[in-house]
Amino acid sequence: MRVVSICPSNTEIMAYLDRTNLLVGVDNYSDWPESITNLPKVGPDLSIDMEKVADLNPDLVLASLSVPGMEKNIAALDEKGLPYIILDPNSLMEIADDIEKAGIAIGEEELGKHKKEAFLTDLQYYREQAKVKSAKPSLYWEWWPKPVFTPGSVNWLTEISELAGAENIFATEKTANFQTDWEEVKKRDPDHICMVWVGVKEEKMNPALVRKRPGWDKMKAIKLDNIHVLEESLFCRPSPRLLEGLRKLKKAIS
């Protein structure tokens, strides 16, 4: 098969299936694994060049709706008459389901089922570990600093927090993406601040700016110097690489 992925998390699902050899093109932001970095690029995920996609003559396009604005990619795929599936998970279980769905779409149903089960087994391992942890530190995840965006309960990062033996301070909000402000974060007084600014490399995130926010010097996380600059690629993409992020998170907050 000839497969084009137009979202980084979809590319990473193909890697989890060990089928990156089927990829003939990817979006500009797909950067893992290294083996795909020399493939033809079809544009940034919010403005895919469908002419380039069509020129690659794909048997399947792995599309997404994980970011607002991707709807126009679906419309363009329909207009071109290109075959596609949409992977749009918010939870870890939905990521597992999409691993199987991608396997079925590339004609490898048994592989998809096997990899789904492997992913769920890994999750269960961390779930059992989290059960025996008595103290649960509180985490504030910062997707964007101003305006402040953070994951709510309907997002994989709340689950990742729990699997690390911690809790997301905004798990009270019944949404995937919650807009708040610095004052509300200060009120909830987290034990740890996790900086995962979407689309921003770690070297561009400055913890010193976080410390300077009005009144934040009184927060537990600031007093204890628990500010963690984390790789957004390991936490902001709904793919099996979240397991690698989970391992790094556990180490950071231990």
pLDDT of 71-119, one tens digit each? 999 999 999 999 999 999 999 999 999 999 999 999 999 999 999 999 9
Q: What is the pLDDT of residue 125?
A: 97
Q: What is the pLDDT of residue 39?
A: 98
Q: What is the pLDDT of residue 133?
A: 84
Q: What is the pLDDT of residue 47?
A: 93
Q: What is the pLDDT of residue 134?
A: 84
Strands of the sheet with 138-142, listed across from one edge? 167-168, 138-142, 192-195, 227-229
Q: What is the pLDDT of residue 199?
A: 87
Residue 25 · residue 45 · CB < 8 Å: no
User: What is the spatial distance between Cα 119 and Cα 38, in angstroms, rounded to a whole number?
Assistant: 28
Q: What is the DSSP letter of 41?
A: B
Q: How many CB atoms lie within 10 A of CB 229?
A: 20
3-state secondary structure at position 184 = helix
**Does this model's pTM top 0.85?**
yes
Q: What is the pLDDT of residue 6?
A: 98
Residue 151 · residue 177 · CB < 8 Å: yes
Low-confidence ranges of the chain (pLDDT < 70): none
User: What is the spatial distance between Cα 196 and Cα 248, in angstroms, rounded to a whole number?
Assistant: 13
